Amino acid sequence: MRLIRARVALASGLVAVAATVAGVVLAAGPASAGSSQVVLVNCSGDGQVRPAGYDIGCMPSSELVTGLKWTSWRSVAFGSGVLEVNDCTPTCAQGTYIKYPILMVLWRAGPWPKHPGQEYFSRLTWIFTGNRPGRVPAAQTFTLPSSGQP
């Protein structure tokens, strides 16, 4: 019974996030044919489109996203992958990465400073679809830097 309630709660949360993001997409409108795609800025400051992985903390980091598969990439991007979290036991250098499945949403596209006419995603939300680390909430949102370094 607990599992059913947990799945219903997760589904409700996903619907709420999707509705919020859909509102953002509708407000933004479609991109013009001549415009470039919105990018995700990586740790070295380069813009990426549909990357297979992303290092949220810029190495040396204890969290990174791998195996990303994107279903949509417009003014909002939707994908799924695996969040790998270092347990830092006994130390971070000797730790083991534990894997957690996630859905990932990139949003709030805006002008990318020093890149005229180019937009970048300034927000990332991941939603755990199974187990999650410790007392971490089912969904987390992060502000992304435009320069690559947090």
Print the domain residue range for 86: 2-143
Global confidence as pTM: 0.76
Asked if 121 and 108 touch (Cβ cutoff 8 Å), the reply is yes
Alpha-carbon span 145 to 142, nearest angstrom: 10
Tell me the two tokens of residue 121. Answer: 């995603």
Asked if 49 and 37 touch (Cβ cutoff 8 Å), the reply is yes
- The total domain count for the chain is 1
Name the β-bridge partners of 111: 119
- The pLDDT tens digits of the residues spanning 35-88 come to 589 999 999 999 999 999 999 888 778 899 999 999 999 999 999 999 999 999
Percent share of the chain, pLDDT over 90: 67
Phi, psi (rounded to 5 degrees) for 117: 80, 0
Asked whether residue 148 is domain-assigned, the answer is: no
Q: What's the pLDDT band for 148 if we cut at 50, 70, 90?
A: confident
- The pLDDT tens digits of the residues spanning 1-44 come to 444 444 444 444 544 444 444 444 333 333 333 458 999 999 99
Instruction: End-to-end CA distance of the chain: give it in Å, rounded.
Output: 42
Asked whether residue 23 is domain-assigned, the answer is: yes
Tell me what the mean pLDDT of segment 122-147 comes to.
Answer: 95
Strand, coil or helix: 46: coil
Instruction: Name residues whose C-beta falls within 8 Å of residue 53's C-beta, 6 or more positions apart in sequence.
Output: 64, 65, 66, 67, 68, 81
> What local confidence, expressed as pLDDT, does residue 149 receive?
67
